[in-house]
Amino acid sequence: MSPPLLTQHHSVPIPPQVNVQGQDKRRDALFLLLYFILIVAAIISRRPDAVLHAQFWAEDGTIWFASAYNLGPVHTLTLPQNGYFATFPRLAAAIATLVPLASAPLVMNLLAIFVQALPPVFLLTRRFAYIGGQPVRLLMAFLILAVPTSAEVHANATNSMAFLALLAFLVLVAAPPDTKAGRVFDVAVLCLGGATGPFAVLLLPVAVLMYWIRRRRWSAVLLGIECSAAIVQAVAIVETAAGTRSSQPLGATPMLLFRIVGGQVIVSPLLGMKFLIVRPAIANLVCAVAFAGALLLLVYVVCRAPLELRLFMVFTVTLLAAALRSPLASLTEPQWPVLITPGAAGRYWLIPVISFFWVYVWMLGRQRPAVIRAVGALAIAAALWTGHSYWRYQPFVNLHFTKYASEFHGVPVGQDFTIPINPQGWQLTLHKH
């Protein structure tokens, strides 16, 4: 077995296949169920209205549910959106059409919360025992939940693809499963994640490297699935992306690059989203220093970190590069100036922020130099404090969705009916049939 993540330097981990017997399996199952319940409760606690007063958010209503209701749920599963297939939100919307309209947002939100809970729960299974003890993985799992800049991706099906991408990465680097259920889980995650968003293209190098290093049959199976998904998404991107992205220019400058990466990925998650707003005079300098520090840390990780963390950082860099090359932040303004807004486009920063959080955890290892451990400890303390400070998100504006849903029942067949949804200005238009 490989040394734990916190003490490992240059070793190439090839974790053994997990083999747990009888009583241990039952005990693990009970612990995972408990973890799952606690994690779901934590997710809901950040914005309870997602369950208690569920409403559609943005594309959840305007695109996914509207298409499923108006065009038919089966047909919409074959349609790309914004240049790629987005199967999970379309599937969630298809399921939501099976319940009364008033309950449809709740169904989609619950499915999104389920997906959001999977990465931290999976991290706590025995399949990741090789990267560190349970306390280390509990900290890593909590940091996923506590990202302070994740309001945009929280409890909505539209941005669940970011959590599916994180989960797919974890499947690729996890120890091979020893049960049929584990193998079914891996296949389901890679198939659903690969069919949701462009991430399969970015994860393909990870799958190739994991197969090349491990040379195991299961790694070959995962590589085959990831390769197939990447091909399908790549074809969709080539064939449809040009006509669906914003026509606005990037508006890219070096200082905006520092503000985006340094501000959104490093500064805001550690010091809070208000820090750069209340200190505009030093914002550029702070972000430039943070950007330089991130580059130095990236070099250190590539040279010293265990394989999984290096691969995660490679995935992060390619993800950031793709996001900055073709963001969809505004239909009316240049893209990069919009991306520096605190809290904006959180879907692009979630995985990069988590990757740096996990780097800070690795920096705590006893074999790291004292200065590195001190920096890691300060970063973790700041992340936990800021996560606590920004734990509760603002509830959605109550647009009285249930009232409109009740009115929809009285609309004559063949007529359109428009319902306002969050964020304000968005609408859900349903064709009564």
Shared-domain flag, residues 102 and 179: yes
Shared-domain flag, residues 250 and 236: no
Q: What is the pLDDT of residue 8?
A: 45
Shared-domain flag, residues 142 and 223: yes
Locate 297 and state its tokens. 């840390």
The answer to whether residue 6 is domain-embedded is no
Q: Note the pTM of the prediction, 2 decimals.
A: 0.92
Q: What is the pLDDT of residue 83?
A: 83
**Residue 153 belongs to domain spanning:** 16-244+397-433
Shared-domain flag, residues 338 and 197: no
The answer to whether residue 368 is domain-embedded is yes
Cα separation, 161 vs 405, whole angstroms: 27
The answer to whether residue 44 is domain-embedded is yes
Shared-domain flag, residues 26 and 127: yes
Q: From the CA atom positions of the chain, what is the Rg in Å? A: 22
The answer to whether residue 428 is domain-embedded is yes
Shared-domain flag, residues 216 and 253: no
Question: Is 252 buried (19+), middle (13-18) or exposed (0-12) by CB count in 10 A?
Answer: middle
How far lies 253's CA from each of 185, 247, 248, 259, 280, in Å? 43, 18, 15, 10, 18
Residues 209, 214, 217, 222, CA torsion sign: negative
Cα separation, 88 vs 167, whole angstroms: 13
Shared-domain flag, residues 317 and 338: yes
Shared-domain flag, residues 107 and 163: yes
Shared-domain flag, residues 225 and 255: no
Q: What is the pLDDT of residue 21?
A: 58
The answer to whether residue 1 is domain-embedded is no
The answer to whether residue 157 is domain-embedded is yes
Shared-domain flag, residues 238 and 271: no
Secondary structure element (H or E) that encloses residue 419, with its range: strand 416-421
How far lies 40's CA from each of 36, 46, 302, 391, in Å? 6, 10, 34, 14
Shared-domain flag, residues 305 and 283: yes
The answer to whether residue 182 is domain-embedded is yes
Number of Cβ within 10 Å of residue 98's Cβ equals 11
Residue-level pLDDT, tens digit, the chain, 433 residues: 334 554 444 444 556 555 555 567 788 889 899 999 999 999 999 999 999 999 999 999 999 999 999 999 888 988 888 889 999 999 999 999 999 999 999 999 999 999 999 999 999 999 999 998 999 999 999 999 999 999 999 999 999 999 999 999 999 999 999 899 999 999 999 999 999 999 999 999 999 999 999 989 999 999 999 999 999 999 998 888 766 666 788 889 999 999 999 999 999 999 998 898 888 889 999 999 999 999 999 999 999 999 999 999 999 999 999 999 888 877 788 889 999 888 788 899 999 999 999 999 999 998 899 999 999 999 999 999 999 999 999 999 999 999 999 999 988 998 999 999 999 889 999 998 8
Shared-domain flag, residues 155 and 269: no
How many domains in the chain? 2
CA 142 to chain centre: 14
